[in-house]
Amino acid sequence: MKKYLRISVFAVLILALVVTFAIAGCKTGTESVKATAKTMKAADVTIGFSVWTMEFTFFQNVEKGVKDACAALGFKYTMLDQKSDATQMVQDMNTLVNQKVSGIVSTPVDPGAMGPAVQKARDAGIPVVCADIGKSGPVNALIVSDNFKGGGLAAEFLANLFPDPAATIFGLGNCKPQWTYARQRGEGFKAKADELTYNIQSDIIVQNPSAEGGYDTMQQMMSAAPDIKGAFFVSGREAVGAANYVKSQNKDIKIVGYNGDPEEFIAIRDGILSATILQQPYVIGYKAVETLKEILVDGKSYENVEIPAEVKLVTPENLDQIAKEVMDSTGNSAFGE
Amino acid sequence: MDDIKIVLTPKQKAGSWLGSFGLIAILLIIFGFFSLTLRGTYFNWGNIKNMVSFSSYVGIGAIGMTFCIMTGNFDISIGSMLALAGVLGASAALKLGGIVGVIVTIVVAALLGLLNGLFVTKLKIPAFITTLGMLFIFRALAYIYTNNNPQYITDRFWIFLGNGSFLGLPFPIFIMGLCYLIAFFMLRKAPFGRYILAVGTNSRAASLSGINVENVKILVFTLIGVFVGVSAVLNGSMLGAANPGMMGDGYEFQVITAVVLGGTALAGGSGSLGGTLLAALIVVFLKTGMSNAQVNSYWQQVATGVVLIVAVSLNKLKFWLLGQAQ
């Protein structure tokens, strides 16, 4: 008994020491970021790219943009894959800091969870630019699509197909709240629909961000609003899944997606999907490296700046032209016929 | 009475060596391979500290799972448990400070573990079914409580726990060390450790010998909660947020992999905390190496599966060499 009492006291003392060290170790004062070092030569610059996942075409195109920009500017380049894991995302940022890269580009799987990791990078004098998705912590810049405008384009497209607002019901397949910038697509859609006096009767968060998730969500949407005429899904994969559900039910409901993935282009060609809002991931990735070049080589200062990237409406009428443009810029043959 | 001296045959000595050093050898081979092929990007002190620090996320949670599997049970709700405890603790921290938030996280996780234990022992629902149901319930409660919004962690004390350093080492390493020290004493020096092994070997015989099997199981499930709570604290600190949807996603799979890789028998009755710790390090060192080498993520999964099969096979080989004598 005495022995276990000794052990318990020992454990409590160790715990108390840990807590004391933790409190003592906390820095006081306001948070600050270390100013980026003086300008560098291009040949000395290494860009570290932390990507959400290389499974999706969108991020493959972002990566191509980052890689091509590095090649064009004479920078060295390294890439780590978060594999859609927030903890991996943080570990990868720390790894890049340990590798002493000159600058970091990130497409974060959980933007709200990167704050401490970004702080560490900035404390080490490494600027961080986020390429799409979102940001938290003291990032230098965020290159992101004009999502609010894109959502508005989707609403306008559907409104043109159904000129009578009083007789028309729309649905919205939204994304989870942590993707705050992607949420702006839904907000833009709702704002434009309100402006044009259209009713959005069903607004559902797609829990499983995939084609299967879109399929299931469309099923729920049609149960909740049987007279629905059109729906906007803030992600292309989900929109294609939703469109396939509509097709399986032999209904004529117009579905609009967002992203401009190859499967959306195929679905538009096949007449399953009505339209999509094209992002330009290659341009986003390229621009992210150009921004780092301005910071590292030109000595410019960026702190928490948002730089919008244009979006485009893709319909059956302009599909082939836009597909060619995308293929020419990214070399991705998946956009071909 | 004279001490009995056990003389091992060469085959049994090989088995004993394998049992003691097999996992260390695997870790050294992985570390050596990537150090040689990746040079400075892998073999540097900052990267090593980073890898050991991040192994604490799985390593600490795996302590409780080691105990659980040693009793012949399973808990697959730990990922959702981590999320629910994390969001509740982060929410408390916003109002009452980081120290309270950390305590709330660990206490909530312990209570959730206790709940699992009570369902398994008092209602006699198999552990797999109980924790499968709780996997959905805990995660759903995390969504409902937060309205699907992440809870941000900004308290300096909490942030320091996962990101700070002491004596040049990341603080999570000290926390992991302390947890393993406590667990080692519980398993090897306290009667509780013997009870766990007895229950896992033969619960009926354990009961007949006077061990309160139900209480042991309840305590084990509660301990899972405690260690998962500590992991939730560190994970929340590293991420600066507790996200109800993403926190702990796939955690149960990672933890069980570490426990099985570490040599704990799924049937119960035997296990090794040292093996669990080494396995957690092996998984992180391997993943980091493959990531730095930009190995395709699908091939990374293949590699992880191969290492798991090799490690379990080595464990089987150990018992064969020992001639089942332990």
Q: Do A81 and B291 touch (CB under 8 A)?
A: yes
Which of A26, A46, A59, A106 best tests the B interface by mutation, with the highest count of B CBs <10 A?
A: A26
pLDDT of residue A55: 86
How many domains in chain A? 2
Residue of B44, B239, B250 lying closest to A90 (CB–CB): B239
Verify that A245 and A286 share a domain, yes or no: no
- For residue A120, the chain B residues in CB contact (below 8 A) are 163
Using one digit for the tens of pLDDT, what is the confidence trace for A175-225?
A: 988 788 889 999 999 999 999 999 999 999 998 888 999 999 999 999 999
Verify that A258 and A286 share a domain, yes or no: no
Using the CB atoms, write b or e for B82-104: b if 16+ within 10 Å: bbbbbbbbbbbbeeeebeebbbb
pLDDT of residue B2: 54
- For residue B47, the chain A residues in CB contact (below 8 A) are 95, 98-99
Q: Where are the beta strands (DSSP E) in chain B?
A: 151-152, 165-166, 169-170, 241-242
- For residue B247, the chain A residues in CB contact (below 8 A) are 86
Which of B148, B156, B230 best tests the A interface by mutation, with the highest count of A CBs <10 A?
A: B156
Q: Please determine, for residue B31, whether its predicted confidence score (pLDDT) is greater than 70.
A: yes
Mean pLDDT of all residues in A33-37: 52
A259 lies in some domain: yes
Verify that A274 and A288 share a domain, yes or no: no
Verify that A198 and A230 share a domain, yes or no: yes
Q: What percent of chain B has pLDDT over 70?
A: 94
Of residues A8 and A299, the one with the higher pLDDT is A299
**Mean pLDDT, all residues of chain A:** 88
pLDDT of residue A326: 86
Cα dihedral across residues B281, B287, B292, B295: positive or negative:
positive
Verify that A324 and A217 share a domain, yes or no: yes
Mean pLDDT of all residues in B144-150: 90
Coil, strand or helix at B124: coil
Q: Do A87 and B238 touch (CB under 8 A)?
A: yes
Verify that A210 and A320 share a domain, yes or no: yes
> Whole-prediction pTM value?
0.82
A193 lies in some domain: yes
pLDDT confidence band for A17 (50 / 70 / 90): low
pLDDT of residue B147: 87
Q: Are strands B169-170 and B165-166 parallel, antiparallel or unpaired?
A: antiparallel
Using one digit for the tens of pLDDT, what is the confidence trace for A153-164?
A: 999 999 999 999
Using one digit for the tens of pLDDT, what is the confidence trace for A36-92?
A: 557 899 999 999 999 999 988 889 999 999 999 999 999 999 999 998 899 999 999
Verify that A193 and A75 share a domain, yes or no: no
Contacts of B168 (CB under 8 A, 6+ apart): none
pLDDT of residue A331: 75
pLDDT of residue B284: 92
Helix A57-73 × helix A319-330 angle, to 10°? 50
DSSP count for chain A of H helices, then E strands? 11, 12
Report the chain A residue with the minimal C-alpha distance to residue B236: A113
Using one digit for the tens of pLDDT, what is the confidence trace for B179-238?
A: 999 999 999 888 989 999 899 989 898 899 889 999 999 999 999 999 999 999 999 999
Report the chain A residue with the minimal C-alpha distance to residue B140: A207
Verify that A209 and A319 share a domain, yes or no: yes
pLDDT of residue A168: 92
Verify that A251 and A192 share a domain, yes or no: yes
pLDDT of residue B310: 82
Using one digit for the tens of pLDDT, what is the confidence trace for B95-135?
A: 999 999 999 999 999 999 999 999 999 999 999 999 999 99
pLDDT of residue A2: 55
pLDDT confidence band for A244 (50 / 70 / 90): very high
A16 lies in some domain: no
Residue of B160, B178, B297 lying closest to A26 (CB–CB): B160
Verify that A202 and A289 share a domain, yes or no: no
pLDDT of residue A27: 42
**In which domain, by residue range, is A248 found?**
147-278+314-335
Tell me how far apart the alpha carbons of residues A285 and A291 are, in angstroms, rounded to a whole number.
Answer: 10
Contacts of A107 (CB under 8 A, 6+ apart): A50, A51, A52, A59, A62, A130, A131, A132, A133
Q: Please determine, for residue B274, whether its predicted confidence score (pLDDT) is greater than 70.
A: yes
Q: Please determine, for residue B320, whether its predicted confidence score (pLDDT) is greater than 70.
A: yes
pLDDT of residue A30: 38
Task: Kindly indicate whether the domain formed by B12-321 is annotated with CATH number 1.10.3470.
Answer: yes
Residue of A25, A54, A116 lying closest to B297 (CB–CB): A54
Mean pLDDT of all residues in A326-333: 78
Tell me how far apart the alpha carbons of residues A71 and A76 are, in angstroms, rounded to a whole number.
Answer: 8
- For residue B99, the chain A residues in CB contact (below 8 A) are 19
- For residue B41, the chain A residues in CB contact (below 8 A) are 78, 99
Q: Do A113 and B241 touch (CB under 8 A)?
A: yes
Q: Do B291 and A80 touch (CB under 8 A)?
A: yes
Mean pLDDT of all residues in B66-84: 95
Mean pLDDT of all residues in B53-60: 95
Q: Please determine, for residue A330, whether its predicted confidence score (pLDDT) is greater than 80.
A: no
A158 lies in some domain: yes
CATH code, domain carrying A203: 3.40.50.2300
3-state secondary structure labels for all residues of A41-75: CHHHCEEEEEECCCCCHHHHHHHHHHHHHHHHHCC
Verify that A165 and A240 share a domain, yes or no: yes
CB A284 within 8 A of CB A131: yes
